[in-house]
Structures are given as structure tokens and as C-alpha cells.
Amino acid sequence: MNIVLLGAPGAGKGTQAQKLVEEFGFDHISTGDLLRAAVKAGTELGKEAKGYMDAGKLVPDSVVIGLVKERLGTPEAAAGFILDGFPRNTSQAESLDAELAGMGVSLDAALLVSVEPEVIVERLSSRRTCRTCGYTGTAADETCPRDGGEMYQRDDDKPETIKQRLDVYEESTAPLVGYYRDKGLLREVDGDRSQDEVYADVKTLLGL
């Protein structure tokens, strides 16, 4: 099964993707991971991406799509994949469709993990991170339960930053919901519940 994963930052997409990978062995394709791996390996696309990243610029669609295309051509992806973090806009979605068609591959579903913005702000702004080991906990953790280190709130977990991230999502990524709905591929799950409840519905929606 080939899936595109949709949802705002903090909606819990990564958790659901990991559960699907563990149970069904899908290839979890994160564009962030692809970029970091290509830069580290020094591939041609990696060198091109590094030039943009070092200059503080967004990596162009052509480079990201090139990396995704490379990964989709591997045996791991042939058994089914979950695209996480790509496409980010309808232009990328159209390019992806064209590349998949050229490979004789099609998408089976676009899974939207839906959570209200105010819930996401509350959820993410309550996160705290250990300064020494990186453990992620909640505001209830005065010290790290792992090593007793100081727990602090990262800048990107502050309410004003979260709201900015959600605004960016709404502007560029949210239109993908309509794009995939029009194609009859959209499957929407309520993400404002326990991880296991959400996952049970995800499997039903995907026919797994």
C-alpha cells in the first residue's frame, strides 16, 4: 500500500506512521531524513541541497522530488511506502503524480490526521525537553526522569511559534486535503484521541 501522510505539525502523524511501519513493514519516507542522508553521503543531489541549506534557503522542489524518486525506486519502497513531509503543496503533489505514473506506481490513500489548532497549540506548548539527554516530557516533569537533568521549553514549542507554524501549514499544505479529496484518495481520522484509538481507525480506513 502506498500512502501520503497529511496533518498539521503536532497532529501525531509520526506516531501513526511508526505504528504502520512496525506492523506492516512499509517504507517510511521522510523528506527531512532523505535530505540529511544525501548531504551526509555527498551524493550529487546531496551537494546541491547542501548549497541551498548552507545559504539558509529552501531546497527547491526539483531536488526534493529527485531524492524522493530515488528512494521510490528501491526494493524497500516497492513493498509499500508512507510519504511523510512530502508533498508540501499542490505543485509538489502534481509533480509526484507525474513521477509515480512514469514508474507505473500509484497512490492508494492520502491519510489526514486531523486535530483542531487550539488542541495542537496546547499539546505542543506543554512539551518540555531535557537539556542533557534530549528526553521529551511534559510541563509536569520538573526534572528529567532519565537523568535528573533540567527540563526546558524549546523555542519552537512556544505558543507564538506554534501558531506561526500552523499558519504556514494552512497556507501551503492544507490545500492538499482538497487535492486528494477530489481524487477520491482522502481518508480522514480524528487525531484528538489516544494513539491506540487513532491507530485502530487508521487501519480500518486503510482496509488493513
Task: Specify burial of residue 55 (Cβ count, 10 A radius: 0-12, 13-18, 19+).
Answer: exposed
Across 119-169, where does the E strand assignment appear? 127-130, 136-138, 151-152
Task: Specify burial of residue 149 (Cβ count, 10 A radius: 0-12, 13-18, 19+).
Answer: middle
Residues designated catalytic: 13, 88, 127, 154, 165
Grid coordinates given for 165: 507554524
Measured CA angle at 99 (ends 207, 44), to 5 deg: 120
